Amino acid sequence: MSKKFILVLCFLFLILTITFTAYGQESKPLIAGADISYPPFEYKEGNTAVGFDIDLWQEIGKRIGRIAIHENYSWDGLIPALLAEKFDVIMSCMGITEGRAKNIAFSVPYFKESFGICVRKETTDIKKLEDLNGKIVGLQTGVMTEKWVREHEQELGIKQIVAYEVVPDIILDLQSGRIDAALSMKPYLAYITKEIDDIYLLVDISFGDNIFDGIGLRKEDVELKEKIDKAIKEIVDDGTYLKLFVKWFGVEPSKEDMRGIGVELSE
């Protein structure tokens, strides 16, 4: 066997090895780690994970040619597990913060965490945040909404804050007339009230500290981030994002809710 023939065989073997390796990487599922206990973003119906994040991640997978799935992990263990390469990304309503960005990279934002207001259908004197002046409001204790509202309580002129353990109890008291408005995370309010006829969400009101959620990645996975960013931008631009939002929250996002989605925070 000639040296030339052997070199050709070696070259062909190298090409085949590279090709099959690349194919194997591209055919593997993209796994997103998440704490699957937060409706309507990610939660279990029976043994099946469902929610806004689940559907969005599957759509991102389609756009980049990969099967995309979620696996359940504890919230506190998500970043350590990502860095230990237990899965490919984090997609679990994780806010993009300076502290987290020291350890991991983030995609462009795919959701804006905002607070919202629900009122009774017959209420006509609460149409904007400032109309909470002189009103009794209910909110969940120990969460970001409570912190923000108490910091702005005097500025808003709120008459009284009634604290609750869970949001459904706030809605019950709102229905009974004990409070004038329910304040909580806007997406959750939209989700929990979409089947309630006598309560409605003030969809044009969004307030809070402008925290965006992104998909967490290892910093070295630059190419994967580029693909995910491109997919998110396409999903926003072609209307798919709007359809998923309405499916899970029952309302269309306001202009303020969409501001910054699919755009690098530095832009």
Quote the pLDDT of residue 264. Answer: 86
User: Residues 234-258: pLDDT tens digits?
Assistant: 999 999 999 999 999 988 998 888 9
Write down the domain spans for the chain.
Answer: 15-110+214-258, 115-209
Give the CA distances from residue 49 to residues 28, 37, 43, 247, 249, in Å, rounded to whole numbers and listed in that order: 20, 9, 6, 16, 17
Contact status, residue 111 vs residue 91, Cβ threshold 8 Å: no
* Same topology between domain 15-110+214-258 and domain 115-209: yes
Q: Which CATH superfamily is domain 115-209 in?
A: Periplasmic binding protein-like II (3.40.190.10)
pLDDT mean by block of 10 residues, the chain; 267 residues? 53 47 62 93 94 98 97 95 98 92 97 94 96 97 89 97 93 97 93 91 90 96 98 98 95 90 80
User: For residue 168, is the peptide bond before it cis, meaning its omega torsion is within 30 degrees of 0?
Assistant: no
User: Residues 62-102: pLDDT tens digits?
Assistant: 999 999 999 999 999 999 999 999 999 999 999 998 999 99
% the chain with pLDDT above 70: 89
Give the CA distances from residue 196 to residues 118, 172, 193, in Å, rounded to whole numbers and listed in that order: 11, 11, 5
CATH number assigned to the domain with residue range 15-110+214-258, chosen from the 4 options 2.60.120.10, 3.40.50.970, 1.10.3210.10, 3.40.190.10: 3.40.190.10
* Paired residues of 169 in beta bridges: none
Quote the pLDDT of residue 104. Answer: 98
* Pairing state between β 181-185 and 111-120: antiparallel
